[in-house]
Amino acid sequence: MNDHRHSSVTTLGVLPIPPGHSIEVRFYDESDRFASRKEAPVVVDLDAGITYGQHWHFLDANGAQVGTPMALPAQVRADLPVRRTILGRVAATQVTWTTVGHPFPQTTITFEVMSSS
C-alpha cells in the first residue's frame, strides 16, 4: 500500500523539472516588508543539481534594479531560517505566463511527498 500523498507548489519563475525527478522544497521565514516572500520556496532538483529560487534567497538585494542581472552567490543565504522542508518526486510540471499587470512566468509542480519536516 502506498501511503504517500500528493502536494503541489506554485512559484514565480520557470522551473522545468521533469516528472520522475526528486526534489527538495524549502520554505523560509523571511520577516521583512514583503509578506509574499513567506510563500516563495527554494526548489532543488536533486537529480539535476539545479537550485531554483528568487534573488533574495541568495542575496539581500532590496535595492536591486528591475531588469538588471545580478551576480548571486551559489548558495542560499545562511541567515534565512528554514520553516519547512519537503522531499518529493515530481508527478507533473506546468509552466505558464500570468498576464495580470506585467507578464511573469509561473510554475506549478505536483509531486508525491516522500517526507516532510
Helix, strand and coil content of the chain, in percent to the nearest 5, comes to: 10, 45, 50
pLDDT at 37: 52
Asked if residue 81 is part of any domain, the answer here is: yes
Q: What are the backbone angles phi and psi of residue 56, rounded to the nearest 5°?
A: -75, -15
Say whether pLDDT at 28 is over 50.
yes
Query: Is the pLDDT confidence value at 15 over 50?
Result: yes
* Domain span at 28: 6-116
**What integer is the mean pLDDT of 69-75?**
85
In a domain, 36, yes or no: yes
Residue 38 pLDDT exceeds 60: no
Residue 1 lies in a domain: no
Residue 42, domain member (yes or no): yes
Name the domain count of the chain: 1
CA count, 13 A, side-chain hemisphere, 75: 4
- Tell me the backbone φ, ψ of residue 37, rounded to 5 degrees: -65, -25
Asked whether the predicted pLDDT for residue 115 surpasses 80, the reply is yes
> What is the predicted pLDDT for the residue at 2?
45
